[in-house]
Amino acid sequence: MRFTILKGYFIKEFIQILRDKKMIALIFFIPIMQMTMFGLALTSEVKNIELVIIAKPGKIARELTARSMAGGWFKKITNIDVYKESDPVSLIQKHKAEAVLIAPKEGFEYALERGGKDIQLLVDATNSQRAQQVSVYVKQLLLQTARDKYGKENFKNMTDIKTRVLFNHYMNTADFMIPALMVMASFIVLMLVSSMSFTKEIETGTLEKLVVSPSYTYEILSGKILPYFVIGLLLMTFMLVTGIGWFGLSFRGTIWQLLITAILFIGSALSCAVLISTFAKTQQQAMMGSILLILPAILLSGILFPVENIPQSVRWICYLNPMIYSVTNFRSIILKGGDYLLCLQNCAALLLICIILSAAAYKNFKSKFN
C-alpha cells in the first residue's frame, strides 16, 4: 500500500464531499433528526388511556379515579352510575372509552369483599399489544386499591409477584431505541451517500481516469472508502454524545468494544455500498438498489421487531444481515456493560460478512473497469 497515493485519494474525496452542501446536510442533519424523532415518538409505553368506571358511587370508585390520574397513564377517567349505563360495549364501539371497568350493581365494596369475582373489564383490542398492557394496568390498579383497603389476606388467590427491572429501571423506550438508531441511521447514510458517490464518478467518467492511472485497484477503493469510514465513525460518536447529553442515555460499557463493533459494521456497510455501485450504471439505480436493501435490513435486524418472532424456517436470513450483530452489541455494551463472549461472537460474524462483501466488491469492481 503506497500511502502517498492513498493520502491523495483521501484528500480529494474529502474535498469533493465538502463542496456539496446537500451532502453534508444528508450526512449529519438527517441522522440526528431521525434519532430525535424516533427517540421521542417511538415508545412501547402505553399512555393516555381513556378509562370509564361504571359503578355505584362509593369510596373505592373515587379511590380508583384518584390513583389512576396520579399514575400519569390515564388520560380521562369517567365515572358513570351503574344504574344509568345500559350498554357499556357501545362506549368502546363509539370510541368514547378504551377500557371500561364495570362493578356489579351493589358496588365495588360488595364485589371486592367477595374477592373481585363480579368485576368485569372491557378493553378495546383493535391494537392487541396495547390492549394487553391496558388490561394489565387496570387490573394492577384495581388489585392495589383492594389490597390497600382490605389487606393481602383477602386476595390470596391473586398473584403477588415482586418485580425488579434491570438495566432500564424507568422502562424508557429511548434507552432501548437510541443504540439501535445509531446503527440504523449510520447504515442508511453510508449506503446512500457512498454508493451514489461511486456511481456519480462512473457517470462523469472520473473513475475510468483513476483506473488508468498508475494506481492499484485496492488503492483506489481504499482512498474512496476511507473518507466515508471516518465520517461514519464521527457520525456514530456524534449520535452517542447526543443520546447521552440529550436523552440521558447511560453508557455502562467500554469504548473499545463499541469502537471495534462500529469499525466492523461501517466496513460491512461501505463494502455493501461499493458492491451495489459496481452493478449500477446511474445514481438513480444506486439509490434504488440501496433502498431495496436498506428496508429489509432494518426490518430483519431486531430494531423494530424481535427477531425471535420470525418463523425459524426464514430466520436464517436475519443472520446474513450485519445490522443484527451491530444492534445486539450496541445495546449490550451501552445498556448492560457488554458481555465479552457475546461481543466477540458478534464481532466475528461482522468480520466474516465484511470480508465476504469486500472480496465481492473488489472482484466486481476489478472485472468492470479492468
What are residue 101's phi and psi, to 5 degrees? -105, 120
**What is d(CA 155, CA 192) in angstroms, rounded to the nearest whole number?**
59
Q: Is 100 exposed, middle or buried (0-12, 13-18, 19+ CB in 10 A)?
A: buried
Burial zone of 356 (CB within 10 Å; 0-12 exposed, 13-18 middle, 19+ buried)? middle
Q: What is the pLDDT along the chain (370 residues), one digit of tens a residue?
A: 566 766 676 676 766 666 766 666 666 676 767 666 666 555 556 677 888 888 877 788 788 878 777 767 777 667 776 556 667 777 777 777 888 888 888 777 777 776 666 788 888 876 666 777 788 888 888 888 777 776 655 555 444 434 455 566 666 777 888 888 899 989 988 998 888 888 887 777 777 767 666 677 777 788 788 888 998 999 999 889 988 888 888 888 899 999 999 999 999 999 999 999 888 888 888 888 898 899 889 888 888 777 877 777 878 888 999 999 999 999 889 988 888 899 999 999 999 999 999 999 888 887 776 6
Closest of 341, 301, 306 to residue 324, by C-alpha: 301
8-state DSSP, 29 = I
Provide the grid cell at 184: 440504523
Element (H, E) at 53: strand 49-54
Residues 6+ apart with CB under 8 A from 87: none
Nearest to 49 by CA among 79, 68, 73, 80: 73
What is the grid cell recorded at 3? Answer: 500511502
Cα separation of 143 and 132, whole Å?
16
Task: Write down the pLDDT at residue 159.
Answer: 40
pTM of the model: 0.71
DSSP result, 220-269: HHHHHHHHHHHHHHHHHHHHHHHHHHHS-----S-HHHHHHHHHHHHHHH
Top-level class of domain 49-155: alpha beta
Sheet with strand 74-80: strands edge to edge: 74-80, 49-54, 99-102, 120-123
pLDDT at 161: 39
Q: Let me know if 316 is exposed, middle or buried by CB neighbors in 10 A (0-12, 13-18, 19+).
A: exposed
- The percent of the chain in helix, strand and coil, each rounded to the nearest 5, is 70, 5, 25
CA atoms of 320 and 322, how far apart (whole Å): 6
C-alpha cell belonging to residue 303: 430494531
* Residue 167: other Cβ atoms inside 10 A: 14
The pLDDT of residue 272 is 93
3-class state of residue 363 by DSSP: helix
Q: Which three cell numbers stand for residue 245?
A: 447529553
- What is the model's pLDDT at position 61? 79
Sorted by where each begins, the domain ranges of the chain are 14-42+171-369, 49-155
- The amino acid that residue 140 corresponds to is Q
* Separation between Cα atoms, residue 74 and residue 94, nearest integer Å: 19
* Amino acid occupying residue 134: V
Residue 198 has a CB neighbour count (10 Å cut-off) of 24
Q: Characterize the bridge pairing of strands 74-80 and 49-54.
A: parallel
Indicate the residue type of 9: Y
